[in-house]
Amino acid sequence: MPDDFDFIHQFIPGSSDRTLLLLHGTGGDENDLIPLGRELAPTAALLSPRGKVLENGYPRFFRRLAEGVFDLEDLKQRTDELADFVVAAAKHYHFDARQVVAVGYSNGANVAASVLLRRPGVLPSAILLRAMVPFIPKELPNLNGVRIWIGGGTNDTIIPRANTEHLVQMLTAAGAEVTARFFDAGHALTNTELVQVKRWLVALTL
Ligand code: MLT
């Protein structure tokens, strides 16, 4: 197996062309978001890696120095590893890389945002649930044609609304088509939000 393929992960084949890349939050693993993925897109294939970093035993996709303060060197390396993994997985499992939709929650949403900013071309679409700016690129990438849905909680104490709005602004300036919604919620997701995500996903053509 190639080196790019060394994430512990689940792959569940689907019956449509679409693949959801499921990226869990801190303390989650490759099993966490499978039910959410099935609910959001019942016929899609699901690719769900486990973050390789451990923080007090809790898996994450990259290191942080404190809550909301990221280890940028580690983030860079982990972002590349994840991007390479997605490319390698498409070859290995024979799914269409142009039909991948990342679905990230919290730390998973932040690493997906980092892949969008650092490795444009890998993710044609993403759903970022409770995301913040992962890093500020020197130059914005070209994200023309990339479709992104972002959901924030107005009472989220971990991810301030202004930070999510900054991310929305950056991705929009890079050319992505961004739909951003804020809900009367905290860090946890709500049913109202998931109904909206599902509707967006059904209408999404890539
Ligand atoms: C992060 O570290 O990515 C964010 O603070 C979200 C979290 O995982 O708590």
Identify whether the C-beta of residue 5 lies closer than 8 Å to the C-beta of residue 92.
Answer: yes
Could you tell me the two tokens for 181? Answer: 């919604």
Q: 107-118 and 161-173 are packed helices; what angle lies between their axes, rounded to 10 degrees?
A: 20
Instruction: Please determine, for residue 1, whether its predicted confidence score (pLDDT) is greater than 60.
Output: no
The residue whose CB lies within 8 Å of the most ligand 1 atoms, and thus the one to mutate among 55, 67, 132, is: 67
**Catalytic pick among 24, 84, 106, 125:** 106
| CA–CA–CA angle 166, 201, 151 (5° rounding) | 30
Does the active-site annotation cover 96? no
- Confidence class for position 2, pLDDT limits 50, 70, 90: low
CA–CA dist 164, 151 (Å, integer): 9
pLDDT of residue 3: 66
Say yes or no: CB of residue 107 within 6 Å of ligand 1: yes
Q: Which of 75, 35, 73, 67 is nearest to 51 (CA)?
A: 75
Mean pLDDT, the chain, integer: 97
Instruction: Please determine, for residue 104, whether its predicted confidence score (pLDDT) is greater than 60.
Output: yes
Q: What would the pLDDT profile of 25-48 be if each residue is shown by its tens digit?
A: 999 999 999 999 999 999 999 999
Say yes or no: CB of residue 158 within 6 Å of ligand 1: yes
Q: What would the pLDDT profile of 111-130 be if each residue is shown by its tens digit?
A: 999 999 999 999 999 999 99
The residue whose CB lies within 8 Å of the most ligand 1 atoms, and thus the one to mutate among 26, 70, 156, is: 26
CA–CA dist 106, 112 (Å, integer): 10
Say yes or no: CB of residue 114 within 6 Å of ligand 1: no
**What predicted TM-score, i.e. pTM, was given to this entire model?**
0.97
